[in-house]
Amino acid sequence: MSTDLSLFRLVLEASLIVQLVMLLLLLASLVSWGVIRRKSVLLRQASKAADEFEANFWSGGDLSTIYRGISRGGKTPLGMAGIFEAGFREFGRIKQQAGATPDQIIEAARRAMRVSQMREVDRLEHNLAFLATVGSTSPYVGLFGTVWGIMNSFQRIGIAQSATLADVAPGIAEALIATAMGLFAAIPAVIAFNRYADKVGRLEVRYDTFQEEFAAILQRHAHRGAKSLDP
């Protein structure tokens, strides 16, 4: 009998509780791998978009032209472009109001950029909590299956009043399978969570830095009342 067939039979012949534990861990693993794949693509796109926008922003062009280019895209700008668009739009709106002081204009632009940044970070962090939950709870769920399998082994020993390998092997085997599945679900989730949380943190630092640099540019132009905005 092949190893795969033996493993398959052990799963089929496991107790109902252990089978439910295995099914739960399998579903958690499949969903977490889907989250890992989507999050990898999302963060790679966000990092690439930030690189492209920064290159365009610091190229020395007119910021009004950059703003119009973003606004003409037809889609809600995301990432660093969204932070820029929110701040620039609010800057222009408040500046046109009579009696608005430079400090009021800059504070309004900062608030708009902070809101945009918070929304972007929330978008990037979406489902990271799920990976953390899978990574932290899966070993304990697997341990529950392990304990249940060992309990079944002791019950067989008590009923048969013997301790042969044939009596205890099925329960021990299903217990070890539950443990292995718990680790199989938890390890990738923990690694992915740590990796992606670090990437989100790095992007957030970049957004904070850009926000401060852009606010400084807007502050200079607010105080001198310039019509053309260049970085």
From first to last of its 231 residues, the chain has per-residue pLDDT tens of 344 446 667 677 677 888 888 899 999 999 999 999 999 999 999 999 999 999 999 987 788 888 888 878 667 888 999 999 999 999 989 888 877 788 898 999 999 999 999 999 999 999 999 999 999 999 999 998 888 888 877 777 666 666 666 666 666 777 788 888 999 999 999 999 999 999 999 999 999 999 999 999 998 887 765 444 555
Amino acid found at 104: Q
- Predicted pLDDT at 118: 95
Amino acid found at 168: V
- Predicted pLDDT at 227: 47
Distance CA 205, CA 144 (A): 41
Distance CA 7, CA 197 (A): 36
The first and second tokens of residue 95, run together, are 């500046």
Amino acid found at 148: W
- Predicted pLDDT at 4: 43
- Predicted pLDDT at 161: 63
Q: Is the Cβ–Cβ distance between 213 and 170 less than 8 Å?
A: no
Of 214, 127, 174, 1, which is closest to residue 222 (Cα–Cα)? 214
Give 1's DSSP letter. Answer: -
Q: First vs last Cα of the chain: how many Å apart?
A: 72
Of 121, 118, 145, 135, which is closest to residue 201 (Cα–Cα)? 121
Triad 103, 109, 114: Cα angle to 5°: 125
Of 170, 187, 142, which is closest to residue 11 (Cα–Cα)? 170
Phi, psi (degrees; rounded to nearest 5) at 99: 85, 0
Distance CA 184, CA 17 (A): 19
Distance CA 222, CA 224 (A): 6
C-alpha distances in Å from residue 205, one per residue of 37, 104, 193, 200, 218 = 24, 25, 18, 9, 20
